[in-house]
Amino acid sequence: MELTPDQMSTLERLHARGFQFVAFPLYEQKIGVRKGNCAALLDPSEGQLRVSAEPAYLVAGNLSVMVGTGTEKFFVWKQSRLSATPERLEELERFANELGEILARPVPGPRDLE
């Protein structure tokens, strides 16, 4: 994967703010970024880094999806699940906001999905 100087600069800013780069085998063409218990996939196409899908809370080290109805929500990956507690939702919201700030564009957080 070849990256432009602007993309490299963005990755350097992410690293300086404590984001780690991780590989997610199912998404080889994407750049995985992680901070704390949250992660996102960045798409390096079209000369920019764009979030490929909404950020996720990690479950068993993997990207999860949030499911549930009403007040009972969970982060799920395969057969594993975690309650989407207010603390976890807040961590994911902070992650999405910080990522969006660095990328200079809004990134959907968990409250956008409710």
3, exposed or middle or buried, with CB in 10 Å at 0-12, 13-18, 19+?
middle
Q: How far apart are alpha carbons 78 and 19 in whole angstroms?
A: 25
What tens-digit pLDDT sequence spans the chain (114 residues)?
789 999 999 999 999 999 999 999 889 899 999 999 999 999 998 888 999 989 999 999 999 999 987 789 999 999 999 999 999 999 999 999 999 999 986 566 665 544
Q: Quote the pTM value.
A: 0.86
For residues 28 and 36, is the Cβ–Cβ distance under 8 A?
Answer: no
**Ramachandran class of 104: left when φ > 0, alpha when ψ lies in -120 to 50, beta otherwise:** left
